[in-house]
Structure 1
Amino acid sequence: MSRYDKAHKDPQGPGDQRPTALNIIHDNALEGALTGKVAVVTGVSSGLGVEVVRALATTGIRLFLTARDVTKAKQALGDQLQDTKVELIKMDQTSMQSVREAAKVILSRTNAVNILINNAGIMAVPELELTADGYEVQFATNHLSHFLLFQLLKRALLAATSHDFQSRVVMVSASAHRIYSTHPDNYHFQNGGYHPWVAYAQSKCGNIYMANEIDRRYGHLGLHGISLHPGIIATDVGRFLSDETKEAMKQDKMLRKVLKTPEQGAATTVYAAVDKGLEGKGGKYLVNCTEATRGPDDGQSSSETYVSHTYCPQKEAELWKDSLEMVGLEDDE
């Protein structure tokens, strides 16, 4: 149960009674309360990332932000970048080398990170695209780059954890993970079968598996992984959607009711990152600022429930092992 359950019972569209990211900060009495702590947020050039930053900035936390397009991020963040506690770093998530370089910059500024929010992502790329590293672009951007960033910042996350404020890794997944799990023999569609939504679903399932495995491996050390579905929000992540699909979504009355503003869409991310009720907890998939409930394996991409493959220790461990190999790292266990 969550204090926000009632607000989500009967949604009435963007701007309704559902909480915003700033509401989460206020309800946890965190204004100015996180001074001295550090957070890293990826994907801050538009949409949810911007709103996450705006909310976290009110806590006094030091922020390291990454974006592929730094110019666009500067325009989107505006006055936030005037704060001396906020630093913007270029990171192209289609390049593992770029991730390494960004992590190096962060670690040159701090040796402790309390919160890592892996927010950046792309959705439904129409045709199969491979990165320069040879990886399917959605898998690389949404999963592998975040996996590598975590590995590079892991010591800093472990160093920052304390009894009263344990470190958190927040993975922004999506309800689309329900339609397709990870497939080790075809991560990059080298055996064919590419479909925009299948590739997206696999990458988003990978986000959940990564969070679950982080909690399994490091939860007892005070480092926790949490994943979430932010909701349906009209942001730039939908730029690859066809005009026909966008028009059909506009005409869908039920969809219009559950649609959130970016401020509301960022709420579950901020909830996962700082809500006091989640202190010392992890391995959870959240929806609407609460833990998701089990639903049917119906192949529906927009349902707010989880399915049988959402939690799968065998596949989580398998993806972890394979991801280490893809980014060229050894297992530390």
Structure 2
Amino acid sequence: MSELFRSPFDRHSTASEVIDGADLSGKRAVITGATSGIGVETARALAAAGADVTLAVRRPDAGEQVAADLRTRTGNDAIHVARVDVADLDSVNAFAAGWAGPLHILVNNAGIMMLPDLERGMRGHEQQFATNYLGHFALALGLHDALADAGGARMVIVSSAGHLFSPVVFDDLDYRFRPYDALGAYGQSKTAEVLLAVEADRRWSSEGIRANALHPGAIATNLQRHTGGLKTPEPYRKTIEQGAATSVFLAASPLAEGIGGRYFEDVNEAPQVISRPTDFGVPAVATYALDAANAERLWDLGLDILR
């Protein structure tokens, strides 16, 4: 096993701090779920460093308001809005088909969390798996050529420590035989996102595309207002600026050049564990989430589903 990657930053570092001095002029970035929370802060940090940023959002009207604010705050007019609903395959495919030119940074940030009741989405699959994993998998596939054309691209996948609550249960992805469990379903979808980074990096790194996954931390955003963000003990909570730091670091820091197929927390690579930590705030990634066989199996399954 390779040595864990360590940066000079920690859980208190902010998005601005981790790319201080970086020049992203000429770089193009796409960020899903960029109308609130860490998605907006990720967009702000990249735009402030000079990137051409597209907010890929479910509600373009809300996206336009965010874009206008970010143009004022950053002085960067190259902030665009496009409709992308990762729960809607037609929306994802339309965006990818309409993209022209290279893409240097793809931040898969959108997501849903712990739906209280079983819902089915894309192709009849459990909604959290469909949205958090399948939608972003389809987007990555659709933008592959643009990422390859960049001559050095990064894909960043916002997963969660919630992945520690469930592996991908290949024999019953959609809770057709086992009782639905909101946390288990969320955990499975977040494990799937880590596996997406592992396999994308394995398949595409030779084309200059590097992919990593991360846990942003417990932040009181729209995603977590009923669960982790506000129930987390005060010492372990993060501000939105701190929560976006790991995404921004992986997307744009020169220190992360050439790094791929890994899982980060608090702006550093997390150690692998075979059982869930009992202490709060201990960085960890489950071995099943980085397992190469699981990653390849899920990729092939995803291709079958999307055909």
Q: Calculate the TM-score normalised by the size of structure 1.
A: 0.84
Unmatched 5+ stretches in structure 2: 1-5
Equivalent residue for 1:205? Answer: 191
Cα deviation, 1:56-106, whole Å, max 9, x if unaligned, reads 00121111211112223333444225744111111122111111112223x
Flag structure 1 segments of 5+ consecutive residues without an equivalent: 9-17, 329-333
Q: Aligned residue for 2:244?
A: 266
- Pairing 1:39–2:29 present: yes
Equivalent position of 1:305 in the other structure:
284
Give me the whole-angstrom Cα distance separating, in 1, the residues matched to 2:302 and 2:296.
10
Aligned to 2:88: 95
> Is 1:21 paired with 2:15?
yes
Task: Answer yes or no: is the 8 Å Cα contact 2:89–2:122 preserved in 1.
Answer: no
Matched with 1:221 is: 207
Q: Distance in 1 between matches of 2:25 and 2:66?
A: 24
Asked if 1:134 corresponds to 2:124, the answer is: yes
Change (3 A) 1:81 1:138: farther
Helix, strand or coil for the counterpart of 1:169? strand
Choose 217-226 or 80-89, whichever is displaced more.
80-89
- What is the Cα-based RMSD across aligned positions, in Å? 1.9
Distance (Å, rounded) in 2 between the aligned partners of 1:214 and 1:240: 32
The 8 Å contact of residues 126 and 240 in structure 1, kept in 2 or not, is answered as: no
Equivalent position amino acid for 1:308 in 2: T
**Equivalent position of 1:15 in the other structure:** none
Query: Equivalent pairs: percent with the same residue?
Result: 34
Aligned partner of 2:153 in structure 1 is: 167
Q: 1:27-50 CA distances to partner (integer Å, 9 max, x unpaired)?
A: xx21xx221111111001110100
1:215-242: CA deviation from partner (whole Å, max 9, x where unpaired): 111112211111101011000002554x
2:51 maps to 61
Secondary structure of the equivalent of 1:93?
Answer: coil
CA distance in 2, matches of 1:138, 1:209: 15
Q: Aligned partners of 2:67, 2:130: CA distance in 1, in Å?
A: 25
Give the corresponding residue for 1:286: 264
Question: How many pairs does the alignment contain?
Answer: 298
3-state DSSP of counterpart to 2:56:
strand
Structure 2-normalised TM-score? 0.91
Q: 46-55 or 231-240: which moved more? A: 231-240
| Aligned-partner SS, 2:287 | coil
